[in-house]
Amino acid sequence: MEESRPGLLRIPDLSKSFRELCALDSLTLSLEEGESLALLGPNGAGKTTALRLLMGELVPDRGEARVFGHDCFREHAEVMRYVGYVPDDPLFLDRILGWELIHFAGSMRGMEEGEIQKRAGALAERWDFLDALDQDPAGYSRGMRRKLALILALLHEPALLLLDEPTIGLDPIATKVLQEVLEEERRRGMGVFLSTQLLERAERMADRVAILVEGKLVASGTLEELKSQLAPGGSLEEVFFKVVAPQGVQEG
């Protein structure tokens, strides 16, 4: 009998502290192929720490994170075959053109030149960004840096896309294109794990939400489940403040 493939993302009992500060406390989540999960919470709730642990940039104190069964820290190179990542403020090397960065990233992932050109060109065209790829990213605006980061993250058609504040710097047109691209990629089977403080954006981009307060998971489920349980007939914003307010935390 053929063995089934492990789930896309599994996070059991993940914890991380920095000196006396507990940034993440026993986080347990999962994500399947084609799903989108939004990680919400006030500033300092642990959202970016969670993403950095998934990227293998931090070592957990306890627990683990696995992509298709591979440990995100101990098997970092293998995990990166499946993952695309867009940080909240993408930075790039100076004196190297956008196209050069793209070709370097694609070659590091074993892609052929023609495949790189076709995939990156199609994505850049969607964001009206082709001309900008002949420029040095040092002169890019924040929105332009995010577009380049999205192209780099999506270049190899990842199984899992990690997005930290995905729409910061993007104008409404670019944001709409991003939503369309993510919907198309999810139909292909890509999972999306995003972190944001923009509740209305999470409502539009995620099937499920998980809310962190001071590193602890205080609520998780589909939008419909959470609204039904915590704010019948209400919005995600009402759900958010219902679970955050008792913790004595102010948003912002």
Could you read off the pLDDT of 186-237 as tens digits, one per residue? Answer: 999 999 999 998 898 899 999 999 999 999 999 999 999 999 999 998 889 9
When mean pLDDT is compared across 91-95, 141-145, 167-171, 190-194, the lowest value belongs to: 91-95
- Single pTM value for the model: 0.92
What is the average pLDDT score of the chain? Answer: 92
Query: What percent of the chain is predicted at pLDDT more than 70?
Result: 95
Average pLDDT over residues 11-29: 94
* Alpha-carbon torsion angle 129, 134, 140, 142, nearest 10: 30
For residues 55 and 72, the answer to whether their CB atoms sit within 8 Å is: yes
Cα 185–chain centre separation: 14
pLDDT at 20: 86
Alpha carbons within 13 A on the beta-carbon side of 122:
10
The type of residue at 237 is E
For residues 210 and 41, the answer to whether their CB atoms sit within 8 Å is: no
Within 10 angstroms of residue 92's Cβ, the number of other Cβ atoms is 15
- Name the token pair of 79: 């995990």
Query: What percent of the chain is predicted at pLDDT more than 90?
Result: 85
Domains, in order of start, for the chain? 1-82+159-220 (3.40.50.300), 91-157 (no CATH)
Q: Is the predicted pLDDT of residue 34 greater than 80, yes or no?
A: yes
**What long-range pairs does 177-184 form, CB within 8 A, spacing at least 24?**
177/126, 177/127, 178/150, 179/204, 179/205, 180/126, 181/123, 181/126, 181/150, 181/154, 182/36
For residues 7 and 30, the answer to whether their CB atoms sit within 8 Å is: yes
Integer angstrom CA distances of residue 49 from 71, 105, 190, 198: 17, 24, 22, 18
Following DSSP, what letter does each residue of the chain receive, concatenated?
-PPPPPPSEEEEEEEEEETTEEEEEEEEEEE-TT-EEEEE-STTSSHHHHHHHHTTSS--SB---EETTEETTTTHHHHHTTEEEE-SS----TT--HHHHHHHHHHHTT--HHHHHHHHHHHHHHTT-TGGGGS-GGG--HHHHHHHHHHHHHTT--SEEEEESTTTT--HHHHHHHHHHHHHHHHHT-EEEEE-S-HHHHHHH-SEEEEEETTEEEEEEEHHHHHHHHSTT--HHHHHHHHHGGGT----
- Name the token pair of 92: 């790039």
CA proximity to 41, closest of 59, 57, 33, 29: 29
